[in-house]
Amino acid sequence: MAPDKVVRQLEEQLQSAREQLQLVTEQLASVKKDFISVSQELATSKEELQSLNKELLSATTDLENLLASSENAVVFLDRWLIIRRYSPAMAVILGLTPSDLGSPFGCLRDVLDWSCLAGDLPAALENLFPIEREVSSIKEGSVFRIRVFPYRAPDKRIDGLVVSLSDITQHKRMEEKREKLASFPLLNPNPVVEADFSGTVTFYNPATVTILNQMGLGAESISLFIPSDLQTVVHFWDASNEATFHREVQIGDRVYGESVFLAPQSDSVRIYAYDITERKRAEEALRTSEDRLKRAQEIAHLGSWELDLATDLLTWSDEVYRIFGLQPQEFRATYEAFLERVHPDDRSAVDAAYSDSIRDGRDSYQIEHRIVREDTGEVRLVHEKCEHFRNAAGTIIRSIGMVHDITERKRDEEALRESEQRVSRKLECILSPEGDLEDLDLADIVDVRSLHSLVQNFNELIRMPIGLIDITGNVLVSVGWQDVCTKFHRAHPESCRNCIESDVLLSAGVPHGEYRFYRCKNNLWDVATPIIVGDKHFGNLFMGQFLFEDEQLDYEYFRSQAQRYGYDEQEYIAALETVPRLSRETLHTAMTFFMELADILSKLGYGNLKLARSLSERDMLMEWLEKTSARLDLLAETAGRLLASESPQEIVDELCRKVMSFLDCHVFFNYLVEDGSNRLHLNACAGIPAEEAAKIVLLDSEVAICGRVAREGCRIVVENIIDNSDPRTALARSCGVTAYACHPLIAHGRLLGTLSFGTRFRTIFTDDELAVMKAVADQVAIAMERKRGEEELQRGREELEVRVAVRTAELARTVNVLRDEVHAHLVTEQVLREKEEMLLRLNRLYAVLSETGQAIVRISDQEELFHEICRIAVEHGGFRLAWVGMKDNRNNVVEVVSSHGETAYLGGIEITIDDTQRGQGPTGVVLRGGSYHICNDFLNDPLTLPWQDRARKCGIRASASIALMQNEEVIGALTLYSDTENFFDTQQVELLQQMGDDISFALGNLLQERLRREAEQALQEESAERLLAMEELRQKDQLLLQQSRQAAMGEMLGNIAHQWRQPLNSLGLIVQELPIMYGLGKMDKGYLENNVQKAKQVIFHMSQTIDDFRNFFTPNKAKVPFEIGEVIRKTLSLVENSLLSQRIKTSVIMAREASISGYPNEFSQVLLNILLNARDAFAEKMIAEPQIEIAVATDDVATSITVTDNAGGIPEEILGRVFEPYFTTKASDKGTGIGLFMAKTIIEKNMNGRLSVSNTREGAAFRIEIAHGS
Q: Please tell me the distance from the alpha carbon of residue 857 to that of residue 877, in angstroms, as a whole number.
A: 19
Q: Binning pLDDT at 50, 70 and 90, where does residue 394 land?
A: confident
Mutual angle of helices 862-875 and 810-858, in 10-degree steps:
150
Contacts of 959 (CB under 8 A, 6+ apart): 922, 934, 935, 938, 944, 975, 976, 977, 978
| pLDDT recorded at residue 72 | 67
pLDDT at 1254 over 90: yes
Residue 230's contacts (CB-CB under 8 Å, 6 or more residues apart) are 195, 197, 199, 269
pTM of the entire predicted model: 0.28
Name which of 1092, 1098, 1100, 1101 is nearest 1073 in CA terms: 1092
Tell me where in the chain the CATH 3.30.450.40 domain(s) lie: 645-796, 859-984
Fold of 176-293: Beta-Lactamase (3.30.450)
Q: Which residue has the higher pLDDT, 117 or 617?
A: 117
User: What's the topology of domain 859-984?
Assistant: Beta-Lactamase (3.30.450)
Which whole number is the average pLDDT over 1094-1117?
Answer: 57
Split at pLDDT 50, 70, 90, the class of 325 is: confident
Strands 254-262 and 243-251: antiparallel
Reply yes or no on whether the pLDDT at 294 is more than 70. no
Residue 759: band (very low, low, confident or very high) from pLDDT cuts 50, 70, 90: very high
Banded model confidence at residue 1058, pLDDT cuts 50, 70, 90: very low
Q: Which pLDDT value is given to residue 65?
A: 63
Identify the pLDDT of residue 601. Answer: 66
pLDDT at 295: 37
pLDDT digits (tens, 9 = 90+) for 1177-1231: 888 888 889 999 999 998 888 899 999 999 889 988 888 888 887 777 776 556 6
Would you call 399 helix, strand, or coil by DSSP? strand
* Intervals of CATH 3.30.450.20 along the chain: 58-169+1013-1036, 176-293
C-alpha span between 1109 and 1060 (Å, rounded): 12
Residue 1205: what pLDDT?
Answer: 94
Which parts of 575-647 are beta strand (E)?
581-582
What is the rounded CA–CA span in Å between residue 1186 and residue 1175? 9
**Pair 501, 471: CB distance under 8 Å:** no
- On the question of pLDDT at 61 being above 70, the answer is no
Cα of first residue to Cα of last residue in the chain, in angstroms, is 68
What is the spatial distance between Cα 1231 and Cα 1223, in angstroms, rounded to a whole number?
9
Band (pLDDT 50/70/90 cuts) for residue 297 is very low
d(CA 627, CA 920): 41
Q: Kind of pairing, strands 475-479 and 516-519? A: unpaired
Q: Which of 1127, 1113, 1196 is nearest to 1158 (CA)?
A: 1127
Name beta bridge partners: 235.
Answer: none
pLDDT at 1259 over 90: yes
CB 717 within 8 A of CB 737: no
Confidence band of 655 (pLDDT split at 50, 70, 90): confident
Which class is 58-169+1013-1036 in CATH?
Answer: alpha beta
1158 vs 723 pLDDT, higher one: 1158
Give Cα separations from 466 to 62, 135, 357, 508, 531 (angstroms). 86, 88, 71, 18, 14
Region 1137-1152 average pLDDT: 85
Angle at which helices 169-182 and 810-858 pack, to 10 degrees? Answer: 120
List, in order, residues 6 or more apart from 885 with CB less than 8 Å away: 894, 895, 896, 897, 911, 923, 927, 972, 973, 975
Give one DSSP letter per residue of 1177-1242, joined into a string: HHHHHT-SS-EEEEEEEE-SSEEEEEEEE-S----HHHHTTTTSTT--SS-TTT--S-HHHHHHHI
pLDDT for the residue numbered 884:
93
CATH topology of domain 442-605: Beta-Lactamase (3.30.450)
333-337, 639-643, 747-751: the lowest-pLDDT one? 639-643
> What are the backbone dihedrals phi and psi of residue 706, each rounded to the nearest 5 degrees, phi first?
-60, -40
544-584 residue pLDDT tens = 777 887 888 788 888 888 888 888 888 888 888 888 887 77
Confidence of residue 445 (pLDDT cuts 50, 70, 90): low
Please give the residue that has the higher pLDDT: either 197 or 980: 980
> CATH fold of 645-796, please?
Beta-Lactamase (3.30.450)
Starting at the edge strand that comes first in sequence, how are the strands of the sheet with 958-966 ordered? 893-901, 881-888, 969-978, 958-966, 932-935
Give the tens place of pLDDT for each residue, 790-831.
666 565 456 645 665 566 566 556 556 656 765 676 676 676
Closest CA to 1178 of 1207, 1135, 1211: 1207
Among 694, 836, 663, 826, CA closest to 759: 663
All residues at 6 or more sequence positions from 1036 whose CB lies less than 8 Å from its CB, including other chains = 52, 56
User: Does residue 13 carry a pLDDT above 90?
Assistant: no
Alpha-carbon gap, residue 724 to 717, rounded angstroms: 12
- What is the overall mean pLDDT for the chain? 77
- Contact between residue 1124 and residue 1155 where contact means Cβ atoms under 8 Å apart: yes
The whole-number average pLDDT for the span 417-438 is 60
| Alpha helix ranges (H) inside 645-719 | 648-662, 690-695, 704-712
Band (265; pLDDT cuts 50, 70, 90): low
Q: The domain at 1115-1267 falls in which architecture?
A: 2-Layer Sandwich (3.30)
| Residue 609: predicted pLDDT | 43
